[in-house]
Each structure stands twice: as C-alpha cells, then as structure tokens.
Structure 1
Amino acid sequence: MAMLKALVVDDASFVRDLVKRTIRQRFPVFETTDAQNGRRAQSLMSRNRFDLILCDWEMPEMSGIELLQWMRAQPQYASVPFIMITSRGDKDHVVEAVKGGVSEYLGKPFSPEGLSNKIIKVMGSQLRDAMARGGKSMESPVDALRESADLLTRKRESPPEEELPLASPAPDSGSSLLTQAASAAADKATARKPSPSVASVRFAESTLKSVVRDINLTEVRVIAKRDQSFPGILDQAVVDIDVGDGQMARLNGYVHQLQAVDKRQDTDFVSVTIRFVDEDPTKLEDLSRFIARFRAGR
C-alpha cells in the first residue's frame, strides 16, 4: 500500500515513464503521478499534497525553475524535496537551481541507481520508515521483469583481439565509400574549428563523440569510432547539437539502433540511431533550424 506520493514532471512521456518505473521498482511505497509541464504540475500540487517532486528544467508553459520558485513560496511545500532532472549541467544553471531551493540536481541521461540514490538522499528517514512499515527492503529491489529487460538490452563486450580475423575480406565499393566518408567526418570532429555536423551524444555513464549522417524531426543517425564506449539498445541519450548563434540544443532520446557501418567484423565505425522524445516546441524549433543548416551544407 502506497504511503508516500511523488509527482514526476517532464514534457517527454518516455522520461516520465522511466522515472515512474524506477520509483515503482525500487520504492513501492510511493504512489506516482505525472505532469507534462510546470503549469499542469502546479495545478496538481494545488489540489493534492505530494511528498517528493522530480522535475525537468526545460518545458513549455512553465519551466522547472519557475515551478521550483513557485513551490518554495507555498507554505505546504517550503521543505518538500525537489529533485531537478535535466540535461542542463552547466554551472550557471546549477547555481540558479540551488538559489531557487532545489534539494538535489540529477543530470540526464541518468541511471536507475543514480536516481534511486538521489531519492534516498533527499527523503532520508521518511522513506526508510515508510519502507520498513511496508515490509520492504532498501537494498535496490529488482523484479523479474527488469532482470529480463536487462538481459535483452545488456551491452555486449567487444571481442578480444585474438578472436578477430588476421585478414579481412575486402569491403564492397559502397561500404568502402561510406567508411571513407565516415573517416573524413570523424577527422572533422577532432578538428579545432566546430562543424555543424558534429554531435556529442551523452549516456548515463559515457559520452560518444560522433558526426551526424542523417537527421529529421524524429531521429538522428550518427557515426562514431568503434574505440569508444557504446550504449545498449533503449538506453537514454541526450544529443547536444550546435544550432547556431551560440545556442546548444539538448535533445532527449533513446538508442533505437546500433549497426556496423560496413560488413567487416573489425570495422572502425558504428552507426547509432537515436529516437527523439522531446515534445517541447522550442526544442523542435531548434532542431528544425539545425536540419535546415545540415541539409544546406550537404
């Protein structure tokens, strides 16, 4: 039986579902409610009492920082824990959140363990007591469904060097051209002068340096060198793209596909497709501007 109430606020339903699923699996004493933006969250908070708020920063209608500032001005929410979950990790935003009264700051993409640790930290004895009364353990409960999902999405280790063929068959002409193009693009990515096709893809435990090969409003396909740390299918991702005028778009998504660039087992490049999940009109506008620049430069 639920003893505590948590409100999850994010414009992306995919992210809301991830947060709620983690809370249900790790802390079953919580009842979770969600809202797609700060304005909707404000309405729910005015009519209900929540013990924990987990909120995105960038959202339409009312941002996370605006919700935080409003919340701290309400006597019933002056001391309720507020965790800001956002792709904005720069110092200025962290300082602004701290000044607004944030309890903890969690960067996207996040791992279930990282989110759980933040919740434990801000809830303290209130959560421990509720779990104890419910006969639950605080030792990271993981159900069979999650274990099955982990088996399906677990990252595969790269084969040892001795298992790679000593001689590789020559790639076909199409693959060879694509490899050459990817190599040239990767060289551009390491150049000091920024290129509009360079993208940094962040995951919970690594960052992938890559170049954009194709992009539309629903997904982006990037090419990256194989010697980096790669994610698993369905892992969360944040794609950082320079949209011009000194502005950086931080687009939330998940890994939809991983594929070798050519047919050789020892290929140097991997193609990664990220499906976007953001529903913020401002982010979609930034993405549209980048797509126009990208296609004009091809």
Structure 2
Amino acid sequence: MATLKALVVDDASFVRDLVKRTIRQRFPVIETTDAQNGRRAQSLMSRGMFDLILCDWEMPEMSGLELLQWMRQQPQYEKVPFIMITSRGDKSHVIEAVKEGVSEYLGKPFSPDGLSKKIIKVMGSTLTTAMGQSGKSMAGPADAFKESAALLTQKREPAPAQESQPTPTAGALVPQSAEVPKPTMAKGAMSLASIRFADSTLKSVVKDINLTEVRVIAKRDQTFPGILDQAVVDIETGEGQMARLNGYVHQLQAVDKRKDADFVSVTIRFVDEDPKKMEDLSRFIARFRAGKR
C-alpha cells in the first residue's frame, strides 16, 4: 500500500507517464498524481499534501521555477523535496533554481536509474522507512523505459502551429548536461542539430523536419542510441534562440544500401505539447524550407 505521495508536473504526457512508471515499478510505496503545468500543480498542492514534487521547467501558464518559488513560500511545503527535471541544463539556470530552493536537478534525457537515485537522495530516511515497513526493497526492474514501448508508439496528433550529478548547493550544482553543445545554422538548407541521450550526444545534420518529427543524418563513427530511447533535440531557431525539443528515437536506418555505409539516418518523434515550443519550431521549419528552395 502506498504511504507517500508524489506530484509529477510536465506539459508532455509522455514524460509524465515515463516518470510515473519508473516510480510505480521501483517505489511501490509512492502514489503518483500528475499535472500538465504549474498552475494545475499549484491547485492540486493547495487542496492536498504531497511528499515529493518532480517538475519540468518550461511549461505553459506557470513554469517550474514559478511553481518552486510559490511552493517555498507555503509553510507546509517549505521543506518538501523538489526535483527539477528539465532539458534546460545551462549553469545559470541551475544556479537560479538552487537559489529558489530546488532540492535536486535532473537533466533530460534521463535514465530510470538516474531518476531513482535522485528520489532516494532527496527523500532519504522517509523513503527507506516506508519501503521497510511495506516489506519492499529499493531494487526495481532493469529498465522501465523498455516497458514504455506502448506509450511511445501511440498515435499523436500534430500540434497546432502557434547523470551522476552534484549535490544542490549554491554555486556548485552542475548537472550532467550543463555544457550543452550549441548547434548553429549553416548557409543554405543545412542546419546542424545536437541530439542528447542519457549517456551520449549525437552530432547531426537536419534533413527534414515537421511539427511531429525530425530526420537527421549522422556519421557512423559516433555512439548511436537504441530504438525508443528518450532524446532531446537542440536546434538554434534564429537570433540566438535555442529550441530544446523532447522526443524519442523512432527509426534508425543506413543511408546507403551497403554494410559499410558511412552515414546513418535517425528519426526523432517529438513529444512536447507546449504551444510556445511549437511556435518556435514552426518558425524554424519555415526558415528551413525556405533555405531548401
């Protein structure tokens, strides 16, 4: 029986399901509730009490940072653990979150093991005691991501065009993805993209892109992910703005019909449901297609 309660906050239902599945499999004493943005999370937190908050940074209506700021002003939530799970990994944002009272920071993409370690770290004896009283151990399934294949392959309608990481002490918390490679727009139709996975980063060239997926070409001498692996696509959308799009690996294919092909085509399906990200992506797509003419 669950004795602890966690609130999972992210605008992408795929990510919420991924986090909830990992918690359910590895920590059966934790009951999960989810919210699609900070405003909804604030409403749920005002009506009930949660022992752990796992929250994305970039969300419509109310961001993760705004939710954290509000939460730390509430006496009942002043010391409740808050884990920020986000693709925003630059050091300045980490320091900003630390100053506002974040408990831990987990960069996307993350592994079930990475998420589990953060939960164990911030909940400490509270979680250990609850697991002990229930007769459960901390051990969980080998990989909760592989059990999420059904979630990953569900049909998704196009959106409208509109980590071993340090302890969170001010000035010291730097996530695994703190130094995110910055892709740049090249001349003509060529656009570079960095695709981040839990344990590697793939340098690639964008060949085609729409609001639901991107197809890139990458040299074979790099470390490649597996089908269904979680990914974050970093693309410069213009004027110094960076789009960090969450997704998963949908397809891997050799570019040439040769066993020794030098290039591999990788298709990433997007899972973000944030209208702002879709607007940024729409602008990039327009520029990308204009450059191909």
Instruction: Give your verdict on TM over 0.5.
Output: yes
Instruction: Determine the C-alpha separation between the residues in 2 that align with 1:214 and 1:205.
Output: 25
Match of 1:21 in 2: 21
| Shift in alpha-carbon separation, 1:147–1:91, aligned structure 2, 3 A | closer
- Deviation, 1:13, is 0.2
Match of 1:250 in 2: 244
| Shift in alpha-carbon separation, 1:45–1:222, aligned structure 2, 3 A | same
| Shift in alpha-carbon separation, 1:50–1:275, aligned structure 2, 3 A | same
Q: Which runs of 5+ in 1 are unaligned?
A: 152-191
Q: Secondary structure at the match of 1:275?
A: strand
Q: Map Cα deviations across residues 178-213 of structure 1 (whole Å, 9 max, x no partner).
A: xxxxxxxxxxxxxx9742610000000000000000
Question: Superposed, which structure 2 residues align to 1:15-164 within 5 Å?
Answer: 15-138=15-138, 140-142=139-141, 149=147
**Aligned AA for 1:125?**
S
Name the % identity: 81
Please point out which of 210, 216, 219 is paired with 1:222. Answer: 216
1:270 maps onto 2:269 in alignment: no
**Aligned AA for 2:234?**
D
- Normalized per residue, the structure richer in helix is 1
Instruction: Determine the C-alpha separation between the residues in 2 that align with 1:6 and 1:193.
Output: 39
Question: Superposed, which structure 2 residues align to 1:2-21 within 5 Å?
Answer: 2-21=2-21
- Deviation, 1:267, is 0.5
Moved over 6 A (4+): none
Q: Secondary structure at the match of 1:297?
A: helix
- Deviation, 1:142, is 1.3
Q: How many residues align?
A: 257
Instruction: Determine the C-alpha separation between the residues in 1 that align with 2:184 and 2:195.
Output: 19
**What TM-score, normalized to structure 1?**
0.83
Please point out which of 199, 220, 224 is paired with 1:205. Answer: 199
Q: Map Cα deviations across residues 196-249 of structure 1 (whole Å, 9 max, x no partner).
A: 610000000000000000000000000001111111111110000000111000
Q: Map Cα deviations across residues 16-46 of structure 1 (whole Å, 9 max, x no partner).
A: 0000001011101000000000000000000
Q: Secondary structure at the match of 1:249?
A: strand
Match of 1:162 in 2: none
**Aligned AA for 1:142?**
P
- Deviation, 1:262, is 1.4
1:283 maps onto 2:277 in alignment: yes
Match of 2:154 in 1: none
**Aligned AA for 1:272?**
V
- Deviation, 1:150, is 9.7
**What TM-score, normalized to structure 2?**
0.85
| Shift in alpha-carbon separation, 1:133–1:279, aligned structure 2, 3 A | same
- Deviation, 1:141, is 1.6
| Shift in alpha-carbon separation, 1:286–1:102, aligned structure 2, 3 A | same
**Contact 2:6/2:32 (<8 A) preserved:** yes
Q: Which runs of 5+ in 2 are unaligned?
A: 150-182
| Shift in alpha-carbon separation, 1:215–1:193, aligned structure 2, 3 A | closer
Q: Secondary structure at the match of 2:222?
A: coil
